[in-house]
Amino acid sequence: MPNRKLIYFFIGTLLTFCLIFFGVTSNAQNKKLQVAFLDVGQGDAILISRGDKQILIDGGPSGTKLLEKLGEYVPFWDRKIDVLIATHPDADHIAGLVDVLKNYSVDELIESGAQSESQIFAALKKMAEDKKVEKQIARRGMKIKLDDDVQLEIFNPTNPIIDDLKKDDTNSASVVAKLTYGENSFLFTGDLPLEAENQLIAAELPLKSQILKVSHHGSKSATSLNFLEFVHSNDAIVSVGKGNRYGHPTAEILDRLKKQKIKILRTDESGDVIYNCDVVGDKCELATAK
Ligand SMILES: [Zn+2]
């Protein structure tokens, strides 16, 4: 019955197209903003999405792990990440980004400008060149728009790039950015150390943000009481691997956050920490937390 087979084939193809079309259009209409602090082990990876637009801040220590996570949050038909931000060249922040460049089309890669002699830094540089990705050096005052009403403002590094930055002090160059959406704001700090936090305070930047990504996985080299008072956040996210060898996060930082009555969310305990914001930006709510 070749005719019947042909009819089934056409019906099957038509249904597949309908499903894909429905998936694409419903996602494009889903204009809600989502900020996902991905559980990638000992490292950082934060995915900011709205409809089919995405910004990925850092890629964690493993490409396999990161691609698995992106598969959960980026629709299968969307093979583009609009902007990648590598906060600084340490492997726990950039290793996963190499595989993102390999597997997704990326419009732009934003870096701190700090250099490293590591193999992974060289691999990221080569992959970006091979894929002809536009590169930019982050500098204070730069604004990145995800949409008309969703904006990331860069607070660190300052411009021009810190020339006297010690070779091994890549943390000080960490890209620090504030995401603003309606009434809501998130502050992403990379692995920024105390001294650089103080410079942000001295520069009188609008640090106040409801949600703070705790710097350097909760190391005591960052997150001073003074900085916490300026940021004045309700929630703090610690992106950290279970039983990591660095002892992150430290009891000292956890105590400091608790004393400020800031809700602590850890990726090693809660898995991915997800905030879903409503369409107008009135409210961003925590979607998952154990
Ligand atoms: Zn780190």
The predicted-structure confidence for 228-274, as pLDDT tens digits, reads as follows 999 999 999 999 999 999 999 999 999 999 999 999 999 999 999 99
201, containing H or E segment? helix 194-202
Closest Cα partner for 176 from 150, 196, 204, 203? 196
126-181 tens-digit pLDDT:
999 999 999 999 999 999 999 889 999 999 998 655 555 556 689 999 999 999 99
Closest Cα partner for 110 from 126, 94, 130? 94
Distance from Cα 38 to the centre of ligand 1, integer Å:
14
The alpha-helical segments, DSSP class H, found in 34-187 are: 63-73, 91-103, 119-130
pLDDT at 2: 59
Kindly indicate the confidence band of residue 20, based on its pLDDT and cuts at 50, 70 and 90: low
Kindly indicate the confidence band of residue 290, based on its pLDDT and cuts at 50, 70 and 90: very low
By DSSP bridging, strand 273-277 and strand 211-213 are unpaired
Residue reference for tokens 């602090």: 37
Distance from Cα 43 to the centre of ligand 1, integer Å:
5
Q: How far apart are CA 63 and CA 95, in angstroms?
A: 6
Q: How far apart are CA 144 and CA 153, in angstroms?
A: 6
183-219 tens-digit pLDDT:
899 999 999 999 999 999 999 999 999 999 999 999 9
> Is residue 118 classed exposed, middle or buried when 0-12, 13-18 and 19+ CB atoms within 10 A define those classes?
middle
**pLDDT, average across residues 60-75:** 97
One-letter amino acid for residue 164 of the chain: D
Distance from Cα 66 to the centre of ligand 1, integer Å:
15
Every domain of the chain and the residues it spans: 30-286
Distance from Cα 58 to the centre of ligand 1, integer Å:
10
pLDDT at 280: 73
Where residue 146 falls (left for φ over 0; alpha for ψ -120 to 50; beta otherwise) is alpha
Kindly indicate the confidence band of residue 21, based on its pLDDT and cuts at 50, 70 and 90: low
Distance from Cα 239 to the centre of ligand 1, integer Å:
9
Distance from Cα 27 to the centre of ligand 1, integer Å:
33
pLDDT at 282: 76
Q: How far apart are CA 261 and CA 269, in angstroms?
A: 19
Q: Right CATH number for 30-286 from 3.90.245.10, 3.30.70.260, 3.60.15.10, 3.40.50.2300?
A: 3.60.15.10
